[in-house]
Amino acid sequence: MDALRSYGVCLREPALRSPRLRRGDAYKRRNVQWRFPRAAVLPNFHLPMRSYEVKNRTSTEDIKALRLITAIKTPYLPDGRFDLEAYDDLINMQIVQGVEGVIVGGTTGEGQLMSWDEHIMLIGHTVNCFGGSIKVIGNTGSNSTREAIHASEQGFAVGMHAALHINPYYGKTSLEGLISHFDCVLSMGPTIIYNVPTRTGQDIPPCVIHTLAKSPNLAGVKECVGNDRVKQYTDNGIAVWSGNDDECHDARWNYGAMGVISVTSNLVPGLMRELMFGGKYPSLNSKLMPLIEWLFHEPNPIGLNTALAQLGVARPVFRLPYVPLPRAKRVEFVNLVKEIGREYFVGNKEVEVLNDDDFILIGRY
């Protein structure tokens, strides 16, 4: 408060000091003494964006308890803007089918194609509409520590329950640099660290995770290296979610994973819930494997975007550089839906094979 009072004084003091001119005195400019105005700057006065308000905060233990988290798709309008109506419908389908959390603006949600304004807006929208029914985990990671800090501050400010952070990609750093990068964001709130070397070009080794696990805000790891790595962490009491849908059943029931952060659950959330909650279910796992293999035939989210368009859940709009799967694969998807059962998939329209000219590809939006 003393600093604020001095701030007010700074503003009230006159900036120009000049001698009082009496009637009849000659006005001489050389006698006017100029004094520099005192700038309204308070040294060391800082208003942090971070909030320590505990209302609506989620504990790290609450995040660790999640079993099924969907890396949610972001649908688009024909002009490339977010289709929030379709997005809300998709989130509602996840909630009804028992999904416990969503990753907003992750790789599947095409956060890499969003501006940060779009990104934070979508996190805030999701919290505002669904935060009481499902945990909202915002992907606020970046290969720039400065951006990761700023985005995480904004994400927690708009109410996200936890953050997802990837290691710096392309411009890779040292192991010490990884620890310093994650340390800068772990203090803000519950955090899941995402290890996917096929995308980042750099593995996050266990020695880094064990160091970071000293922070009470480390909820766990989304691990894509494989189930042997999953077991390394679970044997040491570190929570792990499988990042590979084709391995998640065994990760959950044989290697101690908490659950899965899933792409496939966008399409069949109810079946993925059974896989995570119903005990060992190898027959269901085998039944879903052709769908999972189809989804990842090309880099994610190409398959998912194509599938949701053919189910009528999202418009057939792609932000480039993503393009739909070729017609032969689109026909294959329709057959997979019929084999598994249309009733298990999201949406209520009949699945159809879309033609090439049904899709809209957008480069500028």
Which residues are the active-site residues? 194, 222
* Phi and psi torsions of 220, nearest 5°: 160, -165
Helix (H) or strand (E) holding 48: none
For residue 269, the 8-state DSSP code is H
Q: Is 201 left (phi over 0), alpha (psi -120 to 50) or beta?
A: left
Cα distances (angstroms) measured from residue 237 to each of 163, 230, 231: 20, 11, 10
Of 69, 107, 91, nearest in space to 260 by CA: 69
Cα distances (angstroms) measured from residue 280 to each of 65, 69, 99, 242, 255: 19, 19, 19, 16, 12
Of 71, 58, 59, 60, nearest in space to 224 by CA: 71
**Residue 340 CA from chain centroid, whole number:** 30
Instruction: Write out the DSSP string of 104-125.
Output: ESSTTTTGGGS-HHHHHHHHHH
- How many angstroms separate the CA atoms of 183 and 178, rounded? 8
CA angle 122, 128, 134 (to 5 degrees): 90
The contacts of residue 248 (CB under 8 Å, 6+ apart) are 242, 257, 259, 260, 262, 275, 276
- 8 Å CB contact between 217 and 235: no
Query: How far is the first Cα of the chain from the last one, in angstroms, to the nearest whole number?
Result: 46
- How many angstroms separate the CA atoms of 138 and 103, rounded? 6
**Tokens representing residue 321 in the block:** 């550089």
